[in-house]
Amino acid sequence: MSSHLFSEGPSIKTTTVGSYSQIDWLYALPSEQTVQDATRVVIGLQRDAGIDLPTDGELYRYDISHPDTNGMIEYFISRIGGISTRIGISDAKAFSKKNEMSFRRKPAGVVTEALNEGSLDLVEACTRSSQVAGGPMKFTLTSPYMLARTLLDNHYGSLEALTLAIADVMAEQVSELPCVCVQIDEANVPGSPENAPLAAEAINRILDKVKVEKAVHFCFGNYGGQTIQSGKWKPLLNFLNSLHTDHLVMEFAHRPEADLDVLKEIDTKIKLGIGVIDIKVNHIESPEEIARRIEKADLKAGSDRVAWVHPDCGFWMLKRSIAERKIESLVKGRDLFLGLQ
């Protein structure tokens, strides 16, 4: 079903990455019903703007206790069995020795025993969104490697074992998700290319169970609007080519233009998704700016390689008025590039 949908319409499709701007009335009066209502609004806003493949906005994952992120880490960690979210002083001290995670004051959780599904129910979460989506939608997952890095491990004894255990828990639930595309989000490995083989193995364990369009999103982090991972795309080339994905969703709008050089070396069996909206600034890109960014990527990648355009990352940090104008420009810029207007 998904391949047929993606073969129709413009040759370059528009999508969003995952999270959407906060809905004030949802957080003023949170309930199961208001989450559904807000999800309906967020998906409708995207469809009204002309987005080809909307996401559900991840509104049910937002955690007001973590204002520097949108709560996606805590959503998964708090539900996977074998992880305690009761963090003591000694846990925080032990976690502080993980220098690569210095931007977090304490772990998202402590692994105390072998992981299991716990209360994680991805089918239920996806179904809740799909019931109000009014058409095809994309469902997002946080990558096992990214989750593992936020944990204090008192059971497995190695990052590899912990990462793969998380992957196995998630892989068991993805084959029946009611959506047309499943996207895995990874924002840590771009700054730690030495762990790319591990991240790829974990991501592929999940992708191999997905029966619809497969996507992997990469960015260099968005923690309170800040880039938290240093590095470039070039060292990740072998990693990108090893993924069992149909398309990539990559950050480029907030990156040096030279990063586009990697596109021509990505395996031609993988479709390219190009970030052309900078979500770390309030500036509203004009359609002309969007079209120029697509043109530069198209020239670097080669004809017909670019299949998707999108924001660099999710919109959770931006005001709705900003996010909505940005996605309107995204569609208009795509149309301008393709000569559809």
What band does 102 get if pLDDT is binned at 50, 70 and 90? low
Q: What angle do CA 41, 44, 45 make, to 5 degrees?
A: 85
pTM check: above 0.85: yes
The count of structural domains within the chain is 1
Q: Is the pLDDT of residue 1 over 50?
A: no
| CA 219/CA 338 separation, integer angstroms | 26
More confident residue, 245 or 71: 245
Residues 121, 163 contacting (CB under 8 angstroms) = no
Name the strand (E) or helix (H) holding 170: helix 159-171
**Nearest-CA neighbor of 125 among 25, 189, 55, 185?**
55
Dihedral of alpha carbons 119, 121, 124, 126, sign: positive
What's the pLDDT at 261?
A: 94
Point out the least confidently predicted range of 11-20, 64-73, 154-163: 64-73
Report the CATH number that the domain containing residue 296 is assigned in CATH.
Answer: 3.20.20.210
The predicted model gives 169-189 an average pLDDT of 95
What's the pLDDT at 75?
A: 93
What's the pLDDT at 224?
A: 52
Backbone dihedral region for residue 64 (phi beyond 0: left; psi -120 to 50: alpha; all else: beta): alpha
Q: Which domain holds residue 209?
A: 2-338
The predicted model gives 95-115 an average pLDDT of 83
Provide the edge-to-edge strand list for the sheet that holds 109-116. 81-84, 109-116, 151-153
